[in-house]
Structure 1
Amino acid sequence: MSKGKGTGTGERKGTGYRRPRALSPLREHLRDTYWFAPTAAMVLIFVVWAAASEADAAIVRLLQDHQDFDDVDNLIRIVNDAKSVINTVSSAMMTFIGVVFSISLVAVQMASGHFTPRVVRIFVRSRITKLTFAVFLATFTLTLLVLTSFDSESDPRLVTTVPFVQSVLTLMMVALSLFLFIAYVNSTLRLMRAGYVVERITGEALRVVNKMPCGDLDGFDPGPEFARVGYEGRAGVLRDVNIARLVRVARRHGVVLRLLPRIGDFVVPGTPLLSVHGADGSKVFPRTALRRTVSVGVERTFHQDLGFGLRQLCDIGLRALSAAVNDPTTAVQCLDRILQLLTALADRPLGAVGHPDAKGTVRLVQDVPDWADVVDLAFAEIRLCAVGSPQVTRRILAGLDDLLRIVPPSRRRPLLRHRELLVQAVTSAVPEAAERTFALEPDRQGIG
């Protein structure tokens, strides 16, 4: 089957393994767009305004029915005083919206140029940014609606509505807008710091690691392959497979399925997608049962992609080591998080993982990067670019030494290979013995 390991036949419910839920294309689309939250907020604020308008009319009718015309007159005076504030808020809110939009564009541009275009998704998916933008637009919409509710009639006996509740609601929305603006600026400034960005990426990558099965595929025989299912759909990056559905289909037909491409691979129509294994090769497997079991998109996501977090961290580190940026400290921060991820994967089964059904029988085998692939992704490119930066070479050596003390003996070889290659590269690139010795001294802070 594979050199790696996965969930074996002995795994049952209650062992801590939670099968990853299927990726919702609609949910992903809404998270990757800016139109939904502002549109929903404006629709919601229109409903709230209609309710507040009806409440104002009910209050006026109640006071008029009880002949409390003085109270109605007091409401009119209070609301007229608030009208100038609402006018000011209405014009100022558009300025705020322009500021928020401008800050967002600048932040995205700086992040894409300084880090990597892959981190733009963090800004696009930022909930505080969408919430701030939505509340600002909702507040602006509310002020326009409230201004239309002011009655030109000043006689308390003839007035039909006094927008008192609407005015209070507007002031509350203004207060919420100011609070969110402060939170938005704070959040955006944090997202522009390299340390916070790499921490966010690492956190999402660790969640993927924690969802992986932790069993063993040694000795597991899926049976001979008797069918293959090709991919049908638009070309794109394989982002997700519906594991629960594939397991149910395989259990129902008494077969074992194996996902041939890895999550993150680019697939085109006709690409072999699944192989079908079982003891009875004469049976005809219904391919229609596997429709809508995979999700393909324009770019990779964290949902089930084990290597995407490492890919982003390496991209940021490589950009930091480029001649245009020349920021080895950021590269060291990326290496810190890369080592954190490798430590989390040090004793986990890799290469292939198995997903069991309710009885613990493996029904789906999914290929994932093995340990050598993960180590190569983590160090190969950064190692080649780090030769002229002793801060980075020292950090890589310290990290490799730490991993060599942690990983099982069977996983030491890729680490030793990268350590030897780094030493050879530095030896050939740095002729001075003292400089070479300094660059090859392990240091967890690079150059503290």
Structure 2
Amino acid sequence: MSDGLITGATGRLGDVKVRRPRMLSPLREHLRDTMWFAPTAGLVGAILLWWVAAELDAEIVSALQDAEDYDQIKDLMGIADDAKAVISTIGSAMMTFIGVVFSISLVAVQMASGQFSPRVVRLYVRSRITKITLTVFMATFLFSLLTLTSFDSERDPRLLTSVPLVEAVLAMAMVLLSLLLFVAYVNGTVRMMRIGFVIDRIARESFRVAVKQPMELPVDTEQLAPETARVTHLGRAGVLRDVNIARAVRAARRQGVVLRLIPRIGDFVVPGTPGFTVHGGAAPSRRALGYTVSVGVERTFHQDLAFGLRQLSDIALRALSPAVNDPTTAVQALDRIVQFLASIAPYPLGALGHRDRRGALRLVQSVPDWTALADLGFTEIRGAAIGNPQVTRRMLAGLDDLLLLVPKERREPLLRHRELLAQAVERSVPEAADRTFALLPDRQGIG
């Protein structure tokens, strides 16, 4: 989305206050899903920092030589010789330290993805503390190597060109920063291995997507002008990750038409399938619509309203599988599913419109409607919950809470899920007392 389509500094979704983020371009958002960009920028920064420090060291020595203060230069040389041994140790040990730390972390990520869901690995990739730690570690290693090249073998103070004193101090400061970040990194990695923290992170990412949704009423697609053209997708096959809404709106405005995006964010598209329908005129050129849609190998949180529910449902299903048999984790996932659905209940859903600066409708984007979101949150878990009274009790309590919170026109899918759950328990649980117990709403499941 682009600036101007939605305004405001903060938003409140449910009982969790969420800062309304600045609208990110798809490129910037995709860089957050990579592990190479931050370390590469850190290495470039380390080279620049070393160059500035080397210039300062050269200026200090030149000033002392101009003042003919050779005794001071000899003192600096003695300090630098002591620092050289420390920096040599830093350079040789840092790379080994990086390899050991991140090898252990990759094993931890693999264990977490196997226990929770493969889709939660994205949380580790997007972790700021992980990227910052890796960046500082690698920058420290490179800075130490560059500092070692600055040590001059010349021992005559009058012929000396530089004494890397500033560089040595900065290298030791970066080592201290690396140690502090290592402590924070270990703490963050341990937290990300806890299911409660993972579920909370997924829920918060989902809230951020919901906050970025346009606040206007849904668009009635039947009131659009007749379809005049279609734009097919000619790129690679993959998952529709996001749409550059500002670019699409700009292309439609220049052509004087309305574009309607056919696939939803998260749909798998193949070359040759329709991407946009055009209403009110000729289709914009391929060049104008270039880089409007982004297709990748997996879904992202950027504009995908249903992706958070998909992950929470996956975690609950894996927890309810016979191999894991952890209904308490399923209850924790249901807590967040209910919270998210309660927060999104007042929002416009279905077909959302995006307007240009003059207020004219230019782009219609399909998003999951309320029924689709409710089905995604409850259908699969409801089928796997039979025989787990802890989960059925929590689901009934959540459905009852939602029935009190949502508008009347959105109660039908909730009532349907409640009735289907009750029928499944009636069929599957032979004892009347067990059926009564399993159908008693309880927000904690079973205490």
> TM over 0.5, yes or no?
yes
Match of 1:214 in 2: 215
CA separation of 1:30/1:370 partners in 2, compared to 1, >3 Å: closer, same or farther?
A: closer
Q: What is the DSSP-based 3-state SS (H/G/I as helix, E as strand, rest coil) of the residue aligned with 2:383?
A: helix
- Equivalent positions of 1:418-429 (< 5 A) are 418-429=417-428
Q: What is the DSSP-based 3-state SS (H/G/I as helix, E as strand, rest coil) of the residue aligned with 1:212?
A: coil
Match of 2:62 in 1: 61
Counterpart residue identity of residue 24, structure 1: P
Displacement of 1:214 in angstroms is: 2.6
- Equivalent positions of 1:272-311 (< 5 A) are 272-278=274-280, 283-288=281-286, 289-311=288-310
The answer (yes or no) to whether the contact 1:13–1:360 under 8 Å persists in 2 is no
Between 1:335-344 and 1:420-429, the stretch displaced more is 420-429
TM-score w.r.t. structure 2 length?
0.91
2:227 to 214, 225, 228: 225
Match of 2:78 in 1: 77
Q: Over residues 19-75 of structure 1, what are the superposed CA-to-partner deviations in whole Å (9 max), with x where a residue is unaligned?
A: 9957434x3553333233223322321222222222222212221221212211211
Match of 1:358 in 2: 357
Q: What is the DSSP-based 3-state SS (H/G/I as helix, E as strand, rest coil) of the residue aligned with 1:290?
A: coil
Q: What is the DSSP-based 3-state SS (H/G/I as helix, E as strand, rest coil) of the residue aligned with 1:296?
A: strand
Match of 2:244 in 1: 242
Is residue 2:142 matched to residue 1:141? Answer: yes
Counterpart residue identity of residue 69, structure 2: D
Is residue 2:108 matched to residue 1:107? Answer: yes
Displacement of 1:313 in angstroms is: 0.8
Match of 1:119 in 2: 120
How many residues get paired? 433
RMSD: 2.4
Match of 2:312 in 1: 313
Between 1:286-295 and 1:263-272, the stretch displaced more is 286-295
CA separation of 1:421/1:46 partners in 2, compared to 1, >3 Å: closer, same or farther?
A: same
Counterpart residue identity of residue 313, structure 2: C
Q: Over residues 70-116 of structure 1, what are the superposed CA-to-partner deviations in whole Å (9 max), with x where a residue is unaligned?
A: 21121122222222222222222123212321132022102210111
Between 1:245-254 and 1:126-135, the stretch displaced more is 245-254
Displacement of 1:185 in angstroms is: 0.8
The answer (yes or no) to whether the contact 2:231–2:283 under 8 Å persists in 1 is no
Match of 2:337 in 1: 338
CA separation of 1:88/1:370 partners in 2, compared to 1, >3 Å: closer, same or farther?
A: same
Is residue 2:397 matched to residue 1:398? Answer: yes
Counterpart residue identity of residue 143, structure 2: L
Match of 1:7 in 2: none
Match of 2:273 in 1: 271
Q: Over residues 145-173 of structure 1, what are the superposed CA-to-partner deviations in whole Å (9 max), with x where a residue is unaligned?
A: 22232233434344332211111111111
Query: What is the CA–CA distance in structure 2 between the aligned matches of 1:205 and 1:272, rounded to whole Å?
Result: 28
Query: What is the CA–CA distance in structure 2 between the aligned matches of 1:39 and 1:358, rounded to whole Å?
Result: 38
Q: What is the DSSP-based 3-state SS (H/G/I as helix, E as strand, rest coil) of the residue aligned with 1:291?
A: coil
Query: What is the CA–CA distance in structure 1 between the aligned matches of 2:68 and 2:377, rounded to whole Å?
Result: 79
Query: What is the CA–CA distance in structure 2 between the aligned matches of 1:20 and 1:235, rounded to whole Å?
Result: 30
Identical pairs, percent? 65
The answer (yes or no) to whether the contact 1:227–1:276 under 8 Å persists in 2 is yes
Query: What is the CA–CA distance in structure 1 between the aligned matches of 2:43 and 2:174, rounded to whole Å?
Result: 13
Counterpart residue identity of residue 387, structure 1: I
Counterpart residue identity of residue 343, structure 1: A
Counterpart residue identity of residue 424, structure 1: Q
Counterpart residue identity of residue 48, structure 1: L
Q: What is the DSSP-based 3-state SS (H/G/I as helix, E as strand, rest coil) of the residue aligned with 2:259?
A: strand
Query: What is the CA–CA distance in structure 2 between the aligned matches of 1:109 and 1:20, rounded to whole Å?
Result: 32
The answer (yes or no) to whether the contact 2:224–2:279 under 8 Å persists in 1 is yes
Between 1:49-58 and 1:243-252, the stretch displaced more is 243-252
The answer (yes or no) to whether the contact 1:23–1:295 under 8 Å persists in 2 is no
Query: What is the CA–CA distance in structure 2 between the aligned matches of 1:29 and 1:104, rounded to whole Å?
Result: 22
The answer (yes or no) to whether the contact 2:6–2:212 under 8 Å persists in 1 is no
TM-score w.r.t. structure 1 length?
0.90
The answer (yes or no) to whether the contact 1:21–1:242 under 8 Å persists in 2 is no
The answer (yes or no) to whether the contact 1:111–1:192 under 8 Å persists in 2 is yes
Between 1:301-310 and 1:239-248, the stretch displaced more is 239-248
Q: What is the DSSP-based 3-state SS (H/G/I as helix, E as strand, rest coil) of the residue aligned with 1:274?
A: strand
Query: What is the CA–CA distance in structure 2 between the aligned matches of 1:246 and 1:93, rounded to whole Å?
Result: 47
Higher RCO by CA contacts (8 Å cutoff, separation 6 or greater): 1
Match of 2:17 in 1: none
Query: What is the CA–CA distance in structure 2 between the aligned matches of 1:12 and 1:34, rounded to whole Å?
Result: 30
Query: What is the CA–CA distance in structure 1 between the aligned matches of 2:86 and 2:218, rounded to whole Å?
Result: 69
Displacement of 1:233 in angstroms is: 0.9
CA separation of 1:213/1:61 partners in 2, compared to 1, >3 Å: closer, same or farther?
A: closer
